[in-house]
Amino acid sequence: MTTLEKNLSALRERQPETAARVERSCTPDGLERIETPQGFPVHRLRGRLLHSQRDPEREARKQIARLDRPPGLVVGFGDGFHIEALLERFPGAEEITVVEPEAGLLRAVFETRDLSRLLSRIRLAVGRAPAALVRDLTSAPAYWYVHPPVEQIQRRYLEAARALWSYRSRPQGPVRILVVGPVYGGSYPVACYAKEALSRLGHEVAFADLSAFQGGYRELEAWSRDRNLLVVFEELLSRFLEKRAEAFGPDLVLFLAQAPIREESLKRLREKDIRLAYWFVEDYRRMTYWERIAPLTDVFFTIQREAEGPMRAAGTRCVRYLPLAALEGFHEPLPLTEEEQRRYGADLSFVGAGYPNRRNFFARLSRDLRIWGNEWEGAAPVLAEMIQDQGRRVSAEESVRIFNASRINLNLHSSICHDGVDPHGDFVNPRTFEIAGCRAFQLVDRRSLLGELFEPDELALFQDLEDARDKIDHFLSHEEERLAYARRGFERVRQEHTYDLRMQEMLGVLYEQGLRSRSKGKSARDWAQEARSPELRQYLEQFPAQGPVELEDIVGEIRKKNNPGWEDRVFLALMAFKEESTCRGSCS
């Protein structure tokens, strides 16, 4: 029996499904094995050592010696040395759950070390998406131990898991949220998706829809020779948003990129103890207005990791990376009519605005491409026949049909500084998630942040013009490969990249920053005024008149009395009867 077989056999006795998952996994890219002077195998994953290559056992004991209690959860299996040290230090500890996001890494470790005795004392959670992990661990202790290398290797996984844990482990009533989008632009549909997801989660949501002002705003953009009139218009909208917030009374205002909010308005909202969040779904290097907005928010969310440092340096209280997503139930596979297939179908399609790099790239692509979207005015003659419906703006609903109807959806991220693919591109655009959410196939240009969001076999990538041509020709003639990529990408989006999950993650971070429901409730005076009998009204008026109060609060006040009166005892008896009736109803 090989070392792998011995480990799998031990794991199979307690967790047969997990053993099967590890057995069929593949070695992850960027994994290499190193042997220590003591003869121990240790691994380096994507350039990061999982343990000391000098003495991994000594290093592990030193790390675990700092712990004063056994954790309920360990994130990162590594080569297992820290887990052995943990069980050695806390021999009487209850069963510990160990999370390893990459099944392929675990298989490689199982091939090199006999860990069968260790596997009989722990429970493994392998390859679980953060949302599934948190859902399954709702009764686990809050104390986590994260194996240090995992902080870098699985950074996105940890961010999502921690924030989702914060959201789900801090139950409270619905939060009142005002969502504010832009007057127009790419972040407007994102605002709509965020509003829909927050409503689904049971929160009380209002949407400040400013799209009605789009016509006037565009007129000012076209005819104003300086920005003074636009600034005045934005100030007017900003004051309108203040009044909208005042009328709604939110616990949180969530702004999307390009929302017309001024610094003075943000300051006044903060004075009213309203939490402020901003989701900056733009390139921070090109759109620099964040510099005046970010320091006035409670949490500033960005789609670029590189932005976190400059934003903190500018005085922003809390900056968090939060990528975009797809809206489940909207971005989904659609059965198309014959007419829709004829109208929207193509071998190769693109949906998006006419940025300079796209104009240049598509003009030289030499492939039959259908282009949908606006801002293509003045495009080269070679593109004229490709642009559909005279370059009008395509609705979100139409985009979903185009994604579903196209054999290949070409996805080239925008740039104003390059002729084609941005070699330093980082953020991932919304189309990446939306196309995958439709279980449609896409060819997307390489982005530095794609690797932590999708596996290599979930998205087909191209790196330059020649590579795009080759991949288009290849995938047009290999339908099964296209369908396999599309299926795996779709599964990843449903597991990890929906707006429902992003909003839970966002609120989890905001809970950590002190967001709470400020629902006013009724004061004792309110209860007294609603009482029908004069005796009950007189009785309730003895309690503090101001501030929210529930019936349980009145019970607490009664129990503080040295000599409760007859009315107090009747009230307590009625409350006891109510609690008993509620219990019976819930248990029946």
- Whether residue 216 sits in one domain with residue 133: no
Answer yes or no: is 562 within a domain: yes
507 belongs to a structural domain? no
221 and 161 within one domain: no
Q: CA 189, 181, 356, 466: dihedral to nearest 10 degrees?
A: -40
Residue 105: CATH number of its domain? 3.90.190
Q: Please compute the mean of the pLDDT values over residues 151-167 and round it to a whole number.
A: 94
Between the alpha carbon of residue 462 and those of residues 115, 265, 348, 447, the distances in Å are 41, 44, 15, 10
CB atoms closer than 10 angstroms to residue 546: 8
CB–CB of 58/52 below 8 Å?
yes
Q: 489 lies in a domain? A: yes
Per-residue pLDDT, 218:
81
Least confident of 116-130, 137-151, 492-506: 137-151
Q: In which band, very low, low, confident or very high, does the pLDDT at 584 lie, cut at 50, 70 and 90?
A: very low
pLDDT attached to residue 225: 66
**Is 515 inside any structural domain?**
no
Answer whether 488's CB lies under 8 Å from 455's CB.
yes
Which tens digits make up the pLDDT trace of 195-206?
999 999 999 999
* Residues 151 and 271 grouped into a single domain: no
Domain that holds residue 461: 338-497
How far is residue 402's CA from residue 409's CA, in Å, rounded to a whole number? 9
- Final residue belonging to a domain, choices 168, 194, 222: 168
186 with 150, same domain? no
287's CB contacts (< 8 A; 6+ apart) are 257
Q: Is 11 among the domain residues?
A: yes
> What's the rounded mean pLDDT across residues 565-576?
67
Q: Is the pLDDT of residue 105 over 90?
A: yes
Are residue 158 and residue 181 in the same domain, yes or no?
Answer: no
Q: What is the pLDDT of residue 570?
A: 67
Shared domain for 362 and 470, answered yes or no, is yes
The token duo for 66 is: 């700092």
Lowest pLDDT segment from 80-84, 166-170, 171-175, 207-211: 171-175
Token pair recorded at residue 322: 């939060």
Confidence of residue 222 (pLDDT cuts 50, 70, 90): confident
Distance from C-alpha of 515 to C-alpha of 92, rounded to nearest angstrom: 38
Longest dimension (CA), the chain: 92
Whole-number pLDDT of residue 536: 67
DSSP 389: G
What is the Cα–Cα distance from 140 to 481, expressed in whole angstroms?
40
pLDDT band for 470, please (50, 70, 90 cuts). very high
Residue 520's pLDDT band, with cuts at 50, 70 and 90, is low
Eight-state DSSP code of residue 395:
P
Average pLDDT over the chain, rounded to an integer = 90
C-beta neighbour count of 221 within 10 angstroms: 12
Q: Does residue 448 fall inside a structural domain?
A: yes
Q: Per residue in 474-508, pLDDT tens? A: 999 999 999 999 999 999 999 999 999 999 999 99
C-alpha span between 494 and 438 (Å, rounded): 10
For residue 300, list its beta bridge partners: 278, 319
Question: Among residues 168, 198, 227, which one ends one of the domains?
Answer: 168
Which residue intervals of 438-550 are DSSP H helices?
A: 465-476, 479-496, 499-512, 524-530, 534-540
566 and 473 within one domain:
no
Task: Output the domain CATH number for residue 217.
Answer: 3.40.50.2000
Per the CB < 8 A criterion, the answer to whether 374 and 393 are in contact is yes
| Length, in residues, of the chain | 588
Q: Is residue 95 part of a domain?
A: yes
The residue-averaged pLDDT of 122-149 equals 86
Count up the domains in the chain and report the number: 4
Answer yes or no: is pLDDT of 526 > 70. no
Does residue 226 carry a pLDDT above 80?
no
Q: Which of 424, 446, 451 shows the shortest CA–CA distance to 155?
A: 451
Are 293 and 369 members of one domain? no
Res 586: pLDDT: 36
d(CA 468, CA 420): 11
Give the model confidence (pLDDT) of 421-456 as tens digits. Answer: 999 999 999 999 999 999 999 999 999 999 999 999
Of the candidates 180, 185, 173, the residue with the CA atom closest to the CA atom of residue 206: 180
In which band, very low, low, confident or very high, does the pLDDT at 136 lie, cut at 50, 70 and 90?
confident
CA torsion angle for 231, 234, 236, 239 (degrees, to 10)? Answer: -120
Residue 113 has pLDDT above 80, yes or no: yes
Residue identified by tokens 């709604």 is 248
d(CA 466, CA 445): 12
Q: Are 201 and 270 in the same domain?
A: yes
Q: Higher model confidence: residue 186 or residue 305?
A: 305
Q: Average the pLDDT over 352-367 and give the result.
A: 96
**Which of residues 323, 346, 373 is at a domain's end?**
323
> Which of residues 451 and 576 earns the better pLDDT score?
451
> Which pLDDT value is given to residue 544?
64
Q: What is the C-alpha end-to-end distance of the chain, expressed in Å?
A: 53
Same domain, 244 and 293: yes
- Please indicate, yes or no, whether residues 286 and 384 belong to a single structural domain of this protein: no
Q: Are 54 and 37 in contact (CB under 8 A)?
A: yes
pLDDT score recorded for residue 309: 96
Instruction: Report the predicted TM-score, pTM, of the whole model to 2 decimal places.
Output: 0.85
Residue with tokens 């917030």: 245
Reply yes or no on whether the pLDDT at 173 is more than 60: yes
Q: Mean pLDDT over residues 76-85, rounded?
A: 97
Read off the pLDDT of residues 303-331 as tens digits, 9 standing for 90 and up.
Answer: 999 999 999 999 999 999 999 999 999 99
- 505 located within any domain: no
Please state, for a pLDDT cut of 70, what percent of the chain lies above it: 88
- Tell which wins on pLDDT, 533 or 186: 186
* 233 shares a domain with 344: no
How far is it, in rounded angstroms, from Cα 93 to Cα 543? Answer: 49
Check if the beta carbon of residue 504 is closer than 8 Å to that of residue 198: no
Residue owning tokens 């953020």: 427
Count of beta carbons in the 10 Å neighbourhood of residue 103 = 20
pLDDT at 282: 96
